[in-house]
Structure 1
Amino acid sequence: MERELLMTGIGGQGIQLGARLLAQALTNAGLAVSMFGSYGGMMRGGNTEATLIVGDCAIESPPTVSRAWSCLVMHEAYADKFTERVRPGGVAVVNSTLCTARPWPDGIRVLEVPATGVADELGAVGAATLVALGAYVRGTGIVGIDDLVATLPDVLPPYRSRLLAVNERALRTGFARAAATYVPAWPEAVA
């Protein structure tokens, strides 16, 4: 069984870090993972995307997909483009602080999380994607929150090691604040 995740936002929101964190946590859990990240020429404010494909056996196709089981959308500029790519029955985690457009496409479950607002409350607006990722893990059970947190020191760049504690709080707060929407990634998800 395979699951796909599309992640999008703008540079500076932590999309690439979030994608690497989830990919490594899934790998550590014994799953096969393929990841592709891309971003515009600007460091902050340009489009940034990542695609993860995760499965319980070897992944043979490249991580470029036209449709996906799930998405994580951090900025309204890309919300429609990505939520429309989620297959019916899939799930979208949407940063409701910055994504206010409605309605969302029919046939998908939408978990709205005020990720930027929560990160701002934590004093780390740059950790907004980690808030949303915590909610994604809660909403899908794709991997356990403790697995994600345990992986954080391995993927956090050394120059950001001082942010380890606040990034862990961001993950756990997003997990705790996720609504009751639950779309299990696996038949026996780890939620």
Structure 2
Amino acid sequence: MPKGSPELTASRREEIINACEKLYETMSFKEITIKEIGAVTSFTRTSIYNYFQTKEEIFLALMQREYELWAQELSALSEEKDSMTAGEFADTLAKSLEKRQQLLKLLAMNHYDMEENSRAERLTDFKVAYGASLDAVRVCLKKFFPNTDAESFIFVFFPFLFGVYPYTFATEKQLTAMREAKMDFKMHSIYEIIYSCVMQLLGGK
């Protein structure tokens, strides 16, 4: 464990996660190393190992933070609103995930490798955050749509999120390949795809 106050530990963990997030905007998961992350922090690269043992743990912590922020937003929604139509809820949910592009990008990665290369306690922390997001959606559904089977909605919606990013963002190389393959494709926005899915799951009511 790193020496220092809990505040310092939390601050340095956050700095490492922020550095990883910044690099991930222009680099791929494979390109990013702990050395690369250390180069954009205010302390030595070797100090990172006091907080995270692998780069997978750092990415897992980034995804954990994204889930936590999303769950907080949904929890506030269920507390502030007394009722919502399907269209209003689909609109709000789509907009909430439109802001969480980083989460959707992370979801498109190989979770098996990320989780396998993280310590059990780090994986547990992540699962707590993931579970909180499930609960936040569940609470909204039970409050706003009591006649909807919340578990069936979740069973479809959360696995669906893993595929949103690849359908909304493509590299120039991927676009060229699809054109050369003469694929009939149209890129859609995060908002469009999620709004459509939620409306279908709620029966468009």
Same fold (TM over 0.5): no
The two structures have a TM-score, normalised by structure 1, of 0.28
Higher CA-based Rg = 2
The two structures have a TM-score, normalised by structure 2, of 0.27
Decide which structure has greater strand share.
1
Decide which structure has greater helix share.
2
